[in-house]
């Protein structure tokens, strides 16, 4: 039996005037809706209504399964996980569309150790966080206080500096701007760099180094790296800094000026007085 072909339903076509009416009224309705939302948002009652609509929509998405099930964090070394969760204002089961990436980014970047942050919602249930944390470089001494700085010379606002005691101290108002170049230069001679306890910026031109909390090294203005390499070589070959040295002045291009600690003269041993002869009895 041959198949029976059902007649195709005829599509109703709008008249030209009806189409024109739709084309003109649809944008008008959209604009009116946007305008209405703006007007509502300016009044407390309208804000409440809009917030209720938004909350209802988010609750509906949560009922569909769009909730936070996993939080992935990349780049975290120092920031505590609980601090990150507090900044995200999210936990497992939170409607994922209720998490604002822009607000979370702002909150994360206000944390002491976070230099930059990026947050993504990966539907249906993953929040992905990528952090770039600050790297502590040195302790900056200025104005009678000590602060931790990173490689950009920016202050890391932490109160307890005890765990950074091994970092060198840089001294001077403009020391943070030049600290990265100095620390990288010192790292070229790691054995000697480990003995540097402080670096004092002099006149925004050059550095004085303090080794072993006792020896002062006066680096030159324009050839600090070459002078540092020369000092390390002298220490390797001659043990220059193992002597009783107070200062090593390397500012002159053709000579070193070394000042040794003054040795106190030994006190002369007082001569023994002759014992008076006893009376004969």
Q: Please indicate, yes or no, if residue 272 is contained in any of the structural domains.
A: no
Domain ends where: 133, 149, 179?
A: 133
Write the pLDDT tens digit of every residue in 62-101. 677 788 899 999 999 999 999 999 999 888 888 888 889 9
Could you tell me what percent of the chain has a pLDDT over 90? 54
Confidence of residue 20 (pLDDT cuts 50, 70, 90): low
Query: Hunting for tokens 């976070």 — which residue is that?
Result: 114
CATH number of the domain where residue 153 is located: 3.40.50.11690
Any residues with CB less than 8 A from the CB of 71 and at least 6 apart, and which? Answer: 85, 88, 90, 126, 127, 129
Give the count of alpha carbons within 13 A of 74, CB side only.
7
Does 88 share its domain with 180?
Answer: no
149's enclosing H/E stretch is strand 145-150
Does 145 share its domain with 255?
Answer: yes
Does 126 share its domain with 190?
Answer: no
Confidence of residue 275 (pLDDT cuts 50, 70, 90): low
Write the pLDDT tens digit of every residue in 228-239. 999 999 999 999
Helices 16-41 and 44-63, packing angle to 10 deg:
110
Are 192 and 232 in contact by the 8 Å Cβ rule? The answer is yes
Which pLDDT belongs to residue 42?
55
Query: Hunting for tokens 């470089």 — which residue is that?
Result: 137
Mean pLDDT score of the chain: 80
Which pLDDT belongs to residue 222?
87
> Does residue 31 carry a pLDDT above 60?
no
Are 213 and 195 in contact by the 8 Å Cβ rule? The answer is no
Which pLDDT belongs to residue 261?
79
Does 115 share its domain with 143?
Answer: no
Question: Within a 10 A sphere around the Cβ of 250, how many other Cβ atoms?
Answer: 22
Q: In what order do the strands lie in the sheet with 70-74?
A: 70-74, 126-133, 114-122
Higher pLDDT, 246 or 6: 246
> Does residue 266 carry a pLDDT above 70?
no
């Amino acid at each position: 039996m041959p198949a029976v072909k059902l007649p195709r339903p005829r599509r109703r076509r709008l008249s030209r005037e009806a189409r024109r009416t739709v084309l003109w009224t649809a944008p008008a309705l959209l604009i009116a809706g946007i305008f209405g939302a703006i007007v509502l948002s300016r009044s407390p009652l309208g804000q409440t209504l809009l917030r209720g609509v938004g909350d209802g929509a988010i609750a509906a998405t949560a009922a569909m399964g769009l909730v936070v099930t996993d939080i992935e964090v990349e780049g975290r070394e120092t920031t505590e996980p609980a601090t990150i969760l507090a900044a995200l204002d999210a936990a497992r089961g939170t409607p994922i569309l209720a998490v604002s990436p822009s607000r979370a980014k702002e909150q994360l970047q206000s944390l002491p150790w976070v230099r930059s942050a990026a947050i993504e919602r990966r539907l249906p249930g993953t929040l992905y966080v990528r952090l770039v944390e600050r790297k502590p470089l040195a302790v900056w001494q200025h104005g009678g206080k000590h602060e931790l700085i990173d490689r950009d010379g920016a202050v890391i606002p932490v109160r307890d500096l005890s765990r950074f005691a091994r970092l060198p101290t840089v001294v001077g108002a403009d020391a943070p701007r030049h600290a990265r170049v100095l620390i990288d230069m010192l790292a070229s001679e790691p054995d000697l760099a480990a003995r540097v306890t402080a670096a004092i910026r002099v006149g925004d031109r050059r550095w004085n180094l303090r080794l072993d909390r006792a020896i002062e090294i006066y680096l030159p203005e324009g050839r600090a790296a070459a002078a540092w390499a020369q000092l390390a070589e002298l220490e390797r070959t001659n043990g220059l800094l193992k002597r009783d040295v107070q200062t090593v002045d390397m500012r002159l291009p053709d000579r070193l000026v070394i000042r040794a600690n003054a040795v106190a003269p030994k006190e002369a041993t007082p001569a023994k007085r002759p014992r008076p002869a006893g009376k004969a009895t």
